[in-house]
Amino acid sequence: MSIVAVTIDNVVRPILIRKGADLPLVMIFAGVIGGLVAFGILGLFIGPVLLAVSYTLLESWVLGGERGGDVAEGG
């Protein structure tokens, strides 16, 4: 029974994370699986968060801040 619960959790969690984050679903699955492999059970939570932060920072850097229109520019 626990294997079924873990399998459902690994499928439902990325879908719910996708609703709250602006990340591709494949990236969220990669974060969940990669976090699980790298950090164990705790990685189910750490992996997607680290991947989301890294993805957002990299995207902001590549786009040059074009997407975040409400960021005040210093003078």
pTM over 0.75: no
The reported pLDDT for the residue numbered 64 is 82
User: Would you give the distance in Å from CA 41 to the centre of its chain?
Assistant: 16
Q: Which three-class secondary structure string do you get for the chain?
A: CHHHHHHHHHHHHHHHHHHHCCCCHHHHHHHHHHHHHHHHHHHHHHHHHHHHHHHHHHHHHHHCCCCCCCCCCCC
- Residue with the bigger pLDDT between 68 and 46: it is 46
The domain locations on the chain are 2-63
pLDDT average, residue stretch 7-12: 76
pLDDT of residue 70: 55
pLDDT single digits (tens) 21-44: 677 778 878 888 888 899 888 888
Q: Give the whole-angstrom CA distance, residue 54 versus residue 7.
A: 26
